[in-house]
Copies of this chain bind each other. A is one copy, B any other.
C-alpha cells in the first residue's frame, strides 16, 4: 500500500512475453513458409473436405492444454489436424459458391493491419486508419466511375465505409431507410409505423436480404421477393416492382427500401439499376445496389454498363473479398449522403468524445456501421490497389472473363432424357454433383432456377488457370457418364419423351446451350450470362 512511485519500481514478475520480438519474427516467418507451402500443394488436397461431422473432436483434446507448446508442434497440428478438414477455397479447382480471391498484397496488408491493430472507431483513435479507408474507397469509386456524390472527396455529403460483408451493408442502409421512412410516415411515435414498412427485392436477391430485414424489425410478411422469370433473365422487372409497390401503398403500407442486385448469387442476373430506381423514387423508397460479386468487373470500362443508373441509387455495396483479390472480410459501402446512416447509427458516449469529432471536420466510422470496434480493413485494400495498380486489376478481371468465355459462371445440368420428369432429372443431377465433389478433384455447388435443379460452375479462384477448368470439364464428363450408366429412366409423358437418348459423351447439356440444340458449349461471360438466357430456348 506504498506510494505509486515505490510500487512502480517492482519488476514485471511473469516471464511470459507474447510479443517478444525474436519469437514474433521467427514464428511469423514460419507462418509465411507454412502458407507458401500450402499454396504450393493446395491441389493435392481434396477440394471439398472428405470428413465426417465431429472429426476434429476425435483428434484434438476436449479441454485446453495447461502448458505452452512449441510453435513447431502447433503448426504440425494445424497441418495434420486442421487442413484435412478444410474445404479449400484457395484451390484452383474450387468452383463452388463464389471465388474468394486473394493476393500477396492483401495478405501482407492484412498482416500489418493486425499488427498495428488500431481500433479506429473515431478519427482520433487512429487518424490514418480512418483517412486511408476513406481515400481507398474514393480510389475504388473512381475506378468504378461512381458519381462524385459517393466520394468522401466529392462536393456532397456522401462517402464510403468498409464493412465486414454485404449483410452488414444491407443492414446499415435498411436501418437508415427504415428510420427515414418512419419520419416520413409521421405520427412522431418512434417505431409505431414499423409494422407497416415494406422492403423489396426479387426472388433472386441474396437470402441475407430477408435476414437483414428481419434483424431491422421489418415484418417478414412485408418483405417482398418479387418473382422473376426466365424470359426476363431472372432480373427484377421494373413493371412488376411498380405493381407491388402501388398495391402496398394503396393498402396503407409504406414502401421503404428496394434492393437491386448486380449479379445475383444463383445465376449472376443483373437487375436494371436505373429503371428500378425510377420506380422506387415514386414512393420515396431507398435504393440499394448490391454489386457484391459482379460489381468488381465494372472497374473495366467495357463492363461498366452494368452499373448504369447508379447515380439514382442511395447506396452501393461491393465486396473486394469476392473478385478483387482481397482476403475476407472486406465489403465497400458507398452512400450518396452519410446523414441518414449516422442519424440511425451514431453513438456519442462521453468516453469517446473528442475535439476533432466535435469540430465536424472528421468522419467517425463507427457511425456508419453496426458495431463500434473495427478492424483496419482499409490497409489491405489500399495495398491491393497501390501495389497492383488499376492496370493489373483490370487485367485480372479480363483474365477471368477470358476463362469465363470457355466456361465460367455457367449453370448447367444433365438434361432430362428418355422421358424423365423434372424430379428424376434433379435427382440425377444431385447424384452427378455428389460424385464430382466426392472425388475431391473439384468442388461445385447447385441452385434451382425456376423449376430446374442446376449445377453452378463459378470460375475465378486466384490460382485457377485454364488447365484446371479443362480438368474439371473432363471430370464432369467422366462423372456424367457414370451417372447415366447407373440410371434407370422412368418414362414420363412429357413431350421430350419422344426424343431418343443422345450418346453419353453428348449428354451434358448446358442450360445455356445454343439454339437448335447444338451440343457445343457456348462462350459466355459470367457477369452477363443472364443476358444470354433469353437467347436460349431451353434456359
Q: A391 to B105, Cβ gap below 8 A?
A: no
Q: Does A31 contact B (CB under 8 A)?
A: yes
A135–B57 CB distance below 8 A: yes
Q: With an 8 A cutoff between CB atoms, is A119 at the interface?
A: yes
Within 8 Å of chain B (Cβ to Cβ): is A103? Answer: yes
Contact of A8 among B85, B361, B362, B466 (CB under 8 A): B466
Q: Does A129 contact B (CB under 8 A)?
A: yes
Contacting residues of chain A (80-116) with chain B, CB-CB under 8 angstroms = 81-90, 96-97, 100-108, 110-112, 114-116
Q: A16-B388, A19-B39, A195-B192 are in contact. Are A34 and B112 (CB under 8 A)?
A: yes
In the assembled complex, how far is the CB of residue A506 from the closest CB belonging to chain B, in whole angstroms?
11
- Residues on the B chain within 8 Å of A10, using CB: 402, 406, 466
Chain B residues closer than 8 Å to A396, beta-carbon distance: 14, 16, 18
A194 contacts B by Cβ under 8 Å: yes
Please, how many angstroms separate the alpha-carbon atoms of A351 and B208 in the complex? Answer: 12
Within the complex, which residue of B123, B143, B328 is in contact with A64, where a contact is CB–CB below 8 Å? B143
Q: Which of A69, A143, A353, A379 has the most CB of B within 10 A?
A: A69
Residues of B near A140 (CB, < 8 A) are 64
Contacts of A49 in B (CB 8 A): 124, 126-128
Contact of A24 among B104, B131, B207, B387 (CB under 8 A): B104
Q: Are A371 and B208 in contact (CB under 8 A)?
A: yes
Within 8 A of B (CB), among A436-475: 445-448, 456, 462-463, 465-467, 469-470, 473
Taking CB atoms, residues of chain B closer than 8 Å to A522 are 1
Interface positions of A from 1 to 38, Cβ below 8 Å from B: 1-5, 7-14, 16, 18-21, 23-25, 27-36, 38
Interface centre among A11, A34, A89, A222 (most CB of B within 10 A): A89
A350 and B175 within 8 A (CB): no
State the oligomeric state as a number of copies: 2
Name 6 A/B residue pairs within 8 A (Cβ), A-sorted: A12-B465, A18-B388, A19-B103, A74-B105, A84-B128, A85-B128
Kindly identify, within residues 127 to 173 of chain A, every residue whose CB is under 8 Å from any CB belonging to chain B: 127-129, 131-132, 135, 138-140, 142-143, 153, 164-168, 171
With A68-B388, A164-B371 known as contacts, the answer to whether A215 contacts B175 (CB < 8 A) is yes
Q: Other than the known A24-B36, A35-B112, A89-B117, what 13 A-B pairs have Cβ atoms closer than 8 Å?
A: A9-B466, A10-B466, A14-B395, A57-B153, A60-B135, A82-B128, A85-B127, A89-B119, A90-B116, A117-B327, A190-B195, A207-B372, A319-B373
A165 touches B373 (CB 8 A): yes
Q: Who on chain B is nearest to A112 by CB?
A: B31
Q: A1 to chain B: which residues have CB within 8 Å?
A: 520, 522-523
Is there a chain B Cβ closer than 8 Å to A537's Cβ?
A: no
Residues of A313-332 at the interface with B, using a CB-CB cut-off of 8 Å, are 319, 321, 325, 327-329
A107 neighbours in B (Cβ, 8 Å): 24, 28, 31, 111, 114-115
Residues of chain B within 8 A (CB-CB) of A219 are: 190-191
A500 an interface residue at 8 Å Cβ cutoff? no
B-side contacts of A214, CB under 8 Å: 175, 344-345
Using known A-B contacts A1-B522, A215-B215, determine if residue A111 contacts B31 with beta carbons closer than 8 Å: yes
A256 at the interface (CB under 8 A from B): no
Q: Size band of the A side of the interface?
A: 35 or more
* Cβ of A476 to closest chain B Cβ, rounded Å: 10
**Could you tell me if B395 and A104 are in contact, using CB atoms closer than 8 angstroms?**
no
In the bound complex, residues from chain B placing their C-beta under 8 Å from that of A395 are 14, 16
Q: Which residues of B contact A30 (CB under 8 A)?
A: 108
The answer, yes or no, to whether A301 is at the interface (CB within 8 Å) is no
A185: interface (CB < 8 Å): no
Does A265 belong to the interface (CB within 8 Å)? yes
Which A residues from 39 to 84 make CB contacts under 8 A with B? Answer: 39-40, 48-49, 51, 53-57, 60, 62-69, 71, 74, 77-78, 81-84
A481 CB-CB contact with B under 8 Å: no
Query: Which residues in B have their C-beta under 8 angstroms from that of A5?
Result: 470, 473
Known: A56-B131, A135-B60. A38 touches B115 (CB 8 A): yes
